[in-house]
Amino acid sequence: MHELSVAANILETVQQHVPLDRASAARAVRVQVGDLAGIIADSLDFCFGALVAGTPYDGCHLAIERVPARCDCADCGRIFNLTSPMFACPGCGSSAIATSGGTDLRIVDIELEDEIEART
C-alpha cells in the first residue's frame, strides 16, 4: 500500500507550508490524481486521515480531483481521454498512442481558515 507513503509526503508538504501555530487553520489539501498515477484515491484519503488524526493538523482533509488520462494518436493526430483499459485510438484504432496527461499526482493548494472568519 504505497498510498500511505504518498499521504505521508503530502502531510510533510503541509507541515512545511503551514506553521505549527497555524496548523488548526489547515482545512483541506486539494490534490489532483491522474487516472494512470497508480493511486487508489479512497486509500490515499483514508491514509491521510489516519496520519493527521490526533495531530495539530487533525481538521485537515484531502480534496481529491480525478484527472483523466489524455492520449495522443501518432497516426491520426486525435487527442482523447482514455476511458477504457484498451490503449487504442477510438478514431482510427491505432495502438500508436502516447499519454500526455493523467499520470501525475499534484498538490494544487492548501486551504486555510481565515483568521477573521475564525474570530466570528
Domain coordinates in residue numbering, the chain: 3-69+101-113
Residue 3 has pLDDT above 60, yes or no: yes
Average pLDDT over residues 24-52: 97
40-46's contacts with Cβ under 8 Å and 24+ in sequence apart are 40/3, 41/66, 43/1, 43/3, 44/3, 44/6, 44/7, 46/3
Q: Distance of alpha carbon 100 from its chain centroid, rounded? A: 17
Average pLDDT over residues 19-47: 96
pLDDT band at residue 87 using 50, 70 and 90 as cut-offs: confident
Least confident segment among 64-68, 84-88, 90-94, 112-116: 112-116
- The model's pTM is 0.84
Q: Please tell me the predicted confidence (pLDDT) of residue 86.
A: 81
Contact in structure between 15 and 50 (CB atoms under 8 Å): no
Does domain 3-69+101-113 sit in CATH 3.30.2320.50?
yes
